[in-house]
Chains A and B, each alone.
Chain A
Amino acid sequence: MNLFSRHKNTVVLATVLLAQLLALAVQVKRQTAEGPVRLIRLVTVSTIAPFERMLIYAGGSVRGVWSNYIDLRSVRRENQQLKAESERMRLERAREQEDARQARRIQALLGFKEQWIDATVAAQVIGTSGSENSRLLYLDKGVKDGIKVDMPVITPDGVVGKILNVYGETAQVLMINDPTSGVGATLVNSRLQGIVKGTATGEVQLNYIMSDEAVPAGEPLVTSGGDHVFPKGLPVGTVTKASPGRNLFLDIKLKPAVDLNRLEEVLVITQQKARTPDTTGLGPIRASDILAQHLPGVPPSPGTPQQDAASGQAAPIASNENSAGGAAQRPTPATSKPVTPKTVSPAASGVKPKIAATDGTKPQNAKQGSTQKTNQGANPQ
């Protein structure tokens, strides 16, 4: 007893350290936050979250008063800017709608199924992990708002992360710049696929791109859909630097599409549905499209309707539901090789089809149709 009281402090220190080491070992072995661990985390988050909410609302009120004053001062100038921007965007929209229609026809022809965003929940960021080693966000929405684990979190600019844990009125988001995160991504121009991960310093990098590939700085990345978390086609970021790394892979640094340090509101995608693009109402289908679909491998010969179509004489026919939901663009006269719907139609149309979901998290590091134009219009957003 005397011995204990003499070394009481050291014994307590050793006991506390030992208990934590044991707890650590148990958690590492289980790899999942279940039972008491989840309960302790729940208690911690539930205790801190009200403070965070209070700070957010207090800050919001002060900011609201100030911004109302500023708004009054700059509303006229802002109105003019918005009008100009609206005109510009209207023109852009018209062009992009045409691209989107074209892309959807091709997708439908090739039988692609895509994840479409059906429902989102807007949430406010109320906190972070407060640590440089854990890139987390806390949202003011939780189970009660229909949020579940692994739901994607985005902003209009691009991908933020995914839901890691959900509590009653709070949710934890693992950002894409955390070392333990992973997002399947595709380089838009080269169509190379890899996995986007964070680093210990909070940077974002693209992994598993072979070192013999050329990846120029400035090339954008979008989600590939291969991770079964994020819908395909969401902006992830742009390449800032690619250099030979260790092993066989390039060391590719990225600039995230979203400023991950300045997030105040985000969208949680609560519902996604796989569906084939709807091509009804996208205009008449050309005879060449039908032929390309029903007669694969038959080379175009002089006098066939396909050639007529190419020369612009084929009469448009009504939309046919049996035609797999749509048709591809007609081959251009310059296409002299035999056509098949899988390869020639999209290429000849000058539009690259979106690669179907890779159905796996393994990166497909093959260059697919690198000379083809990118299909940006078919963004599921």
Chain B
Amino acid sequence: MRDRTLARLLILPCALAILILGIFPLIYALHLSFHSWQLPSLEPQFVGLENYANILQDKRFYWAIVRSCFFVVTTVGIQFLLGFTGAFVLSRGVRGLRLIGSLLLAPVMIAPVAVGAIWLPLFDINFGLLNYCLGLIGLGKVEWLATPTNALPCLMLIDIWQWTPFMLLILLAGFQSIPREPLEAARIGGASEWRILRSISLPMLTPVIGIALLLRGIDSFGKFFDTAYLLTRGGPGTSSETLNLYIYEVGFKFFRLGYGAALSFTMLLLALVGIAVFFKVFRVE
């Protein structure tokens, strides 16, 4: 068999699977987004761009975007700062790095919904470990998930807890891949650690940092759902309602299928725009 034919033959099943399972639902969703369809009615009605026009006037949608963006920027930012510091320190040489790495992997591997369950009792106002610890140092009880100002930050805390190790491990791998020679040379030349970090390590780490931020950014925008679904469902009020939760409510709780599909598509577009911006920024740097 010719190699070209073989190459295509080998990739065919996979391509077909993606086409049928991945692309088709997307097209269907796009089609749906031009319809108005409220279950239990079985007949979608074509409404053209009405759903999209409604989205433009949907205040809840705008707030959800604001929250989602705030969530992404803050959590990823903090994860990066913590992870970077940790990775920098660990890269200076620590015994048992392998074991430490293994232990740090644990939060990353746990199902996010289970992570939510793990944190729920910690946040309990009366019985929670967090309030108990605050009590030990003489502070009053905090209403963790139960106030509009606290709810979203609590969810962010969970996300930071779960994904900081991820950031750290990636950046640590990055630090370890930096060749030793230029660092040693700079040290002997009397450069300060800070200067070495800024002018040697950081430029070499840029691709790794870019990837880490990109992956976390995409995931926390598109996939942050499970813990919020479990802990707040967007409440109190709509104070912790991110885009994912809003789409879930519209589409799945109340079965406004057409509008839900239009929202989904808008979200996809936003994600694409975000990524485009990200690429621009990172290439410029």
Bound pair (A, B): no
Question: Residues of B with Cβ closer than 8 Å to A?
Answer: none
